[in-house]
Amino acid sequence: MTGAAGLPLALTMGDPAGIGPDITLLAYQRRQEAGLPAFALLGHSDVLRERARRLGLTVAVEAVPDMAAAKSAFARALPVIETGPDCPAEPGVPDARNAAATIAAIDGAVALVSSGQAAAVVTNPIAKHVLHEAGFSHPGHTEYLAELAAAGGPAPLPVMMLWSPALAVVPVTIHVALRAVPDLLTTDLIVRTARIVARDLQGRFGIASPRLALAGLNPHAGENGAMGHEDQAVVRPAVEQLAAEGIRVTGPHPADTLFHAAARERYDAALCMYHDQALIPIKTIAFDEAVNVTLGLPFVRTSPDHGTAFDIAGTGAARPDSLMAAMRLAARMAARTAP
């Protein structure tokens, strides 16, 4: 199985002190039974070899110069394209000295997919607080990828979708404090986000007429203004505008009744007004199968739906299920969007 036009995926190392190396090695080891596409890791081969030794895994790791060599090597070894400066990479020990290598891997993966050498970008987890200690100014992966995609022009609106076979959710506001959400939430932001979701569900997921459900911001979707005015003044006008544009949309719905099994049958994606309103239900329903997908970019990007898990890095306790799901979904999406 391969991605667009037979190209491998560009997989980033993530924070090398986290579980990124662990789950990459495990995914490669299970590549055939899991039906994984070919991929190359951007990072450091020495980090992978040392982590394999620590975990007792018999996985060959081979440094390669480019994606063409990675595709040739994939059957015999996990191919690694060396990027960025050396890094300490002690499992379970966050270290700001790893930040430059972490960011270099992201930059390299985006450059490869943007130049047509890779089918898609799949990112291993990063630790935002570690990057911020080193001067990284973006809230997270999603926002940084949007800046890279801009290539000096206006940045696209990045939309974070958490996808699983059972549920897909989109937080309209993402990595911001809860107290900031009501001020950031606007009808225009909801409309722009929903348009991107509907477009990419059609173009990259093959859903001919996507159904969107919008959650209310307040309990009971505001109870007709008794619990806040935002649902009537901000969310409902967005629903009306989207419907007028021909998008199949309903809401605002009380969030506490939006995620049970019968409710999920009525929509293809739920748009939620803030981060935890979206992520709590999907991580409860599909923690090991969920995939983080960034919509609105000119390339496909997916990621596991979990963090660096420093507490279990290098112990053998990490599971590669979400990373493998991210790879399969990236290849599927890239194949649909290939020229």
Domains and CATH numbers, the chain: 1-157+300-339 (3.40.718.10), 166-285 (3.40.718.10)
The angle that helices 187-203 and 236-244 make with each other, rounded to 10 degrees, is 40
| pLDDT above 80: residue 139 | no
Question: Residue 44 has what pLDDT?
Answer: 95
Question: Residue 305 has what pLDDT?
Answer: 85
Task: For residues 259-281, give the mean pLDDT.
Answer: 97
3 state SS of 268 = coil
Residue 235 and residue 251 in contact, taking contact as beta carbons nearer than 8 Å: yes
Question: Residue 217 has what pLDDT?
Answer: 96
Q: Is 226 exposed, middle or buried (0-12, 13-18, 19+ CB in 10 A)?
A: exposed
Question: Residue 223 has what pLDDT?
Answer: 83
| pLDDT above 90: residue 226 | no
| pLDDT above 90: residue 136 | no
Report pLDDT digits (tens) over 154-200: 778 889 999 999 999 999 998 889 999 999 999 999 999 999 999 99
Band of residue 1 on the pLDDT scale cut at 50, 70, 90: very low
Please give the angle made by the CA atoms of 295, 299 and 302, to the nearest 5 degrees.
60
Backbone angles phi, psi at 2, to 5 degrees: -130, 170
- Say what the pTM is: 0.89
Rounded to whole angstroms, how far apart are CA atoms 5 and 119? 8
Report pLDDT digits (tens) over 95-120: 999 989 999 999 999 999 999 999 99
